Amino acid sequence: HRHRRPPNGELSPTERTLNRALAQARAPVERGVARLKSWRIFRRSRCSPNRMTDIAAAVLTLERQH
């Protein structure tokens, strides 16, 4: 979880570094989820959720290689 600045205080250099590392790790995942939400197939799908999971994993793998 992310470190928050205490009231009337500052984060330590270690906490700032940890927050930066967490943000860098989350960014690709958040971009991938945003991309999936924009795809019509995921908004109007009529197949099982398990199959959609496999499709989403395949799409994200292809997106990462792009």
- Which are the contacts of 36, defined by CB distance < 8 A and separation ≥ 6? 42, 56, 59, 60
| pLDDT computed for residue 66 by the predictor | 58
Chain centroid to CA 19: how far? 15
Q: pTM of the entire structure?
A: 0.54
Kindly list the domain boundaries of the chain, sorted by start residue.
13-65
Say what the pLDDT of residue 15 is.
92
Q: Which of 26, 25, 37, 36 is nearest to 59 (CA)?
A: 36
Tell me the pLDDT of the chain (66 aa) as tens digits.
788 888 988 999 999 999 999 999 898 888 878 887 787 777 777 777 788 888 888 877 877 775
Predicted local confidence at residue 59, as pLDDT: 77
Residue 20 and residue 30 in contact, taking contact as beta carbons nearer than 8 Å? no
